[in-house]
Structure formats: structure tokens, C-alpha cells
Amino acid sequence: MGLPESGSRSIGRFGRRLGAITIDWAFAVGISIAFFDYNALATQLVFFVIQALATVGLNASIGHLLVGMRLQRVEGGRLGIMKPLIRAVLLSLVIPALFFDADQRGLHDRAVGTILLRR
């Protein structure tokens, strides 16, 4: 993809991605415990909202920011609103995030044309 192997603007590898999603899920669980009696559906919806709002507004989820990554369109330019929303729906389904290609992009990122890069 023409990106550096390491450092800034390199592809976010599996360890960082796993750390980021773990942090985001922990936030969702904490909110669900505090406000929704740890209801499974509420936890999933909170996770979706965290992903959608943060990636639309910041080009990164809370977890991405904490592990030093950001979301970007493969072609460059602004993410817009629809790509992060569709990505959040697919990520909430879990399965697309488990499968990734040689470029370390999950199926949810491939579907919407995004990539996670190190900051």
C-alpha cells in the first residue's frame, strides 16, 4: 500500500488493534453496568455509539487514540459520516473484525475503504 513499515503512518498491527477494541469494549461495559444493569443489548448499542460518534468526530475511537492510531480513508480525504457509521455496524457484528487481509485490514475496513494507521 506504499506505507512505511513502522512508525508514524504505518499500518496499525494486530496488537494495537486488539488493545484498542478491548479499551472501547471496556468503556461500553462500564457504561452498561452503570446505567443499564449490564444488559447485553445495551452493552452492544453503547459500543456501537462509542465507535460511531468517536470515528465520525475524531477519526479514531477512544481506544484508537489511547494506543496511538487513527482511521483514514485508503484514498485519502475526509471520512465523512457514512463510512464510520457502516464500519461501526460491521464492527459491532464482531465477525468482520476477526478476519483480515495481508495489509492487516479487517473485513469491516475493507468494506468501507478505510485503514487504521499509527499516529
Going residue by residue through the chain (119 aa), what tens digit of pLDDT does each one get?
Answer: 667 676 776 788 888 989 999 999 999 999 999 999 999 999 999 999 999 999 999 999 999 999 999 999 998 888 999 999 999 999 998 877 778 787 778 888 899 999 999 98
DSSP states of 90-104 as a string? HHHTSHHHH-B-TTS
- Residue 1's pLDDT is 61
- Residue 27's pLDDT is 97
- Residue 2's pLDDT is 65
Domain ranges of the chain: 20-118
- Residue 49's pLDDT is 96
Which amino acid appears at position 41 of this protein?
L
- Residue 4's pLDDT is 66
- Residue 73's pLDDT is 92
Unique residue bearing C-alpha cell 499509527: 118
Distance CA 65, CA 55 (A): 10
pTM, two decimals, is 0.87
- Please name the helix (run of DSSP H) or strand (run of DSSP E) that holds residue 72, with its range, or none: strand 69-73
Q: Could you report how far apart the first and last alpha carbons of the chain are, in Å? A: 17
Query: From residue 115, how far is each of 18, 35, 41 by CA, in Å?
Result: 15, 33, 28
Cα 17 versus chain centre, distance: 8
Distance CA 2, CA 75 (A): 12
